[in-house]
Structure 1
Amino acid sequence: MPSRLSRRALLRGLTAATAAATLATALTACGGESDAATTTTDKAGTVTIGQLSNGAARKTTLKAAEVESISAKLPAGVRESGKLVIGVGALPDGFPPLAYIGEDQKTLTGAEPDFARLVAAVLGLEPELKNSTWENMFVGVDSGKVDIAFANITDTEERKRKYDFASYRKDDIGFETTKKSTWTFDGDYRALAGLTVAVDNGTNQEKILLEWQAKLKKEGKQLTVKHFASKNATYLALTGGKIDAYLSANPGVAYHVTQTADTPNATRSAGTYSGAGESLQGLIAATTKKGRGLAAPVAEAVNHLIEDGTYAQWLAAWNLSDEAVAKSEVNPPGLPLDNS
């Protein structure tokens, strides 16, 4: 996640139905946490991706068996417990398609819990998902009540003072256009010259877009930046031709594309860009307490899933293939302290 603010922008993509369902779960949670109806257990050796996703994912059953050469490297306490306690900070509103309450209005679903379950399977552990607020998720990791968090957490140098990371996905922002549009962003800000682009106020993507606007102005070119009061207003402007593109957190773009696919107002992704800016690829990482000894075996589990093709199938099911990484790394370079 490029910043706490950009995560808020992603949260604003929640549909009204999902918001109501998630709020109901939040109201029943004690102390900002819920572990009821958050674990979907398949038969041994399989994990079903996209269950109860309400159309956000293509339901896919994947094989994921324990790799003993990896599970043997787990900390003794975790290995002996037989379970992996996984934190997901999706209360109260959720952030589709990554983590939200599913169509049954009680079960936690999303790309993040699905991937956590795949990793747990490779480690030979039973996944136990705990859904909490963003802040309480970190409290759980700090206290040891949560082994590891999978919750769209960006690897930053500031966070590495307290946590160890195992990266598994790019942290990108993305452009969304109408399906009929031929415009594509290739990573060069000059492709934005002459366009009108919407962005949410106070987000990381707004910061980047305004920097590009300033560069273009110095070159004698114009980029018009628009802000709207809500995502609905933004999408109406997009489909109505009042703006050329919308810059948002890339998973939110992926989610909206799936939701409009069979409608007259279908949209598409028009390109991505690192949430960390030009000099560094931002990374999303599994997060564990520093020195816990979990990051290395988790990274090995992720790399096993990458190598056998399961990882690519997971991303494709959630329309997030453009966020694939070549390999998982333990504590890779993160957002610098002046941009954490």
Structure 2
Amino acid sequence: MTLILGMLLDAIFGEPRWLWSRIPHPAVLTGQLIGWCDAKFNKGDHQRVMGTLTIVELCIAAAALGWLLQAIPGQIVDIIVLAILLAQKSLVQHVQAVGDALRLSLGDGKRTVAMIVGRDTRDMDEAAVARSAIESAAENLSDGVIAPIFWFAVAGLPGLLVYKAANTADSMIGYRTPRHEKFGWAAARFDDLLNLIPARLTALLIWGVTARPDMRKILRDARLHRSPNAGWPEAAMAYGLGIALSGPRTYNGTMRDYPLVNGEGERDLTPDHVDAAVKTLWQVWVLTLAGALAIWIIQLT
């Protein structure tokens, strides 16, 4: 019941601006801590060792905090923490905002999608803006919704907080840049490990709520992605909506020639395709909620 109520609370309220404009969001505090560690320890000749120690200590602290919170009598703390750390409604709002802005103008669409993706947006056309939003929807459905639910179900608040700490660290220092290739190595590898099952579970859920495309094609194209995990929900979304995703894009002025996922799918994407992706996000959420409800009923009997 804790999981069900947490999912419902997040879906209804999301991330209320009136609250997080007054106090820092836990993700912001975690990011500040990681930033401090980066500035303090990412130097010298032992960057990989220091980065590994940083992620180990961060996760130990997250697990300890989770155990302390979980020890508080009742379920209200668990429900509130889960709702805060889930991102269903905020993900839907950010993705839908891109589709709505794109209907106004290409410039509005590019400015809005730049808030949720790291690639260069200046030279994007309408299809590229819509594609970027849909890719973000698929990847963040796994990272921001299914993975937190999975680790909460497996290990309670300690599992949830460890996952969120590792995922935040990966998003900040887990890049193969000159500064973070060594220091962020452990964060990136640990995040890959924690997302191994949730990413594939997300793909299965997307497959279940769409037209159930050929799973063999999803399995094949998921491996084309540069990430060992992100390709799974992205491939499922591409085949579920009948569209082509991924492909060449520019980061910091450098063109990356990534392969297309479902290269035979529709390439001229529009705001309507973004709407379809948002619908899929909610369908997956409903299916996940139904699964949690079914498990709860079975446990009662």
| TM-score calculated relative to the size of structure 1 | 0.29
The structure with the largest helix share of the pair is 2
| TM-score calculated relative to the size of structure 2 | 0.31
Quick one: higher RCO (CA 8 Å, sep 6+), 1 or 2? Answer: 1
The structure with the largest strand share of the pair is 1
